[in-house]
Structure 1
Amino acid sequence: MAPGPAQSRQNTSADISATIRVAELPQQGEQMYALIHQGGPFASEKDGVIFGNRERLLPPFKRGYYREYTVPTPGLWHRGTRRIVCGGMPKTPDACYYTADHYASFRKIVP
């Protein structure tokens, strides 16, 4: 019997091998990445809220480890689908990940 979607996600949870360089992020992503490391200020009240990792695509850690930040999409009046999710301390995260598809996939941000 083939594994179901939950099993497939679980099997890939610790395998974040896809990367994206900071310079490859959209301009708004580069700006948000810099703001994260400065501690803000953030435009959205949702920026910095706990990210639950319910999709289990990121390495598993206790609740509260990950925080999410909106990467604005020009022309949209809502938050859109682009986010940066960082784990660890807010201004000095251990790792940050970019998603352009609202948590369906992640790429680790590297220098």
Structure 2
Amino acid sequence: MIRARAFCFFVALSVLLGACGKDETQSGVPETVASASPAPVSPPAEPQARQPDAAGGQERDGLATVHIAQLPRQAVATLRLIEAGGPFPFEKDGVVFGNRERVLPRHPRGYYHEYTVPTPRARDRGARRIVCGGPKKQLGDCYYTDDHYASFKRIAD
């Protein structure tokens, strides 16, 4: 039920955003569509190791890094709660993260645990999480996502 509502919300949002900000020709077709020619399709490229960038860099696993000072203050507070072992504000904090998206390095089930990073003015848990690997009370391998597991950044000191 919740997934269906979320799906409907994102479909409606994408339709709304797709209709905004496009110049239309007199025919009513968006100019970007009317003048676009089909692009050649090429096979997907193999992932390559990326070079460090100025914002934080890349680690050995290909994930970008984010320094603690660059995180939202709510994420820093969540990190401190993880270090202290809680108490956590959300019932699901500390549950096993399955890594079904396979964005994080692979480890046996039970290695990763997820924690909610509160989003100001959100009525639910929001999309922000910190996922840590290893023992729960140590930071170990910790990652931050602000897009509900679509991408992660390794947290660095």
Instruction: Give the TM-score band, short-chain normalised.
Output: 0.7 to 0.9
Q: Which residue of 1 aligns with 2:110?
A: 64
Q: Which residue of 2 aligns with 1:34?
A: 80
User: For 1:100, which of 118, 138, 146 is the aligned residue?
Assistant: 146
The alignment status of 1:24 with 2:70, answered yes or no, reads yes
Count of residue pairs brought into register by the alignment: 103
Look up the equivalent residue of 1:39 and give its one-letter code. Answer: G
Q: Distance in 2 between matches of 1:16 and 1:27?
A: 25
- Name whichever structure is richer in strand by fraction: 1
The percent identity for this pair of structures is 57
Matches within 5 A, 1:53-92: 53-92=99-138
Shift of 1:2: 3.2
Q: Distance in 2 between matches of 1:45 and 1:39?
A: 14
Q: Which residue of 1 aligns with 2:94?
A: 48
Shift of 1:77: 1.1
| Structure 1 spans left out of the alignment, 5+ residues | 9-13
| Structure 2 spans left out of the alignment, 5+ residues | 1-41, 48-59
The alignment status of 1:110 with 2:156, answered yes or no, reads yes
Q: Distance in 2 between matches of 1:41 and 1:16?
A: 33
Look up the equivalent residue of 2:144 and give its one-letter code. Answer: Y
Q: Which residue of 1 aligns with 2:15?
A: none
Residues 16 and 58 in structure 1, CA contact (< 8 A), matched pair in contact too: no
Q: How well do the aligned residues superpose, as a CA RMSD in angstroms?
A: 1.7
TM-score normalized with structure 2 length: 0.62
Give per-residue Cα distances to partners, 1:37-74, cap 9 Å, x unaligned. 11001000010000000000100000000000000001
The higher radius of gyration belongs to: 2
TM-score normalized with structure 1 length: 0.86
SS in structure 1 of the partner of residue 144 of structure 2? strand
Q: Which residue of 1 aligns with 2:43?
A: 2
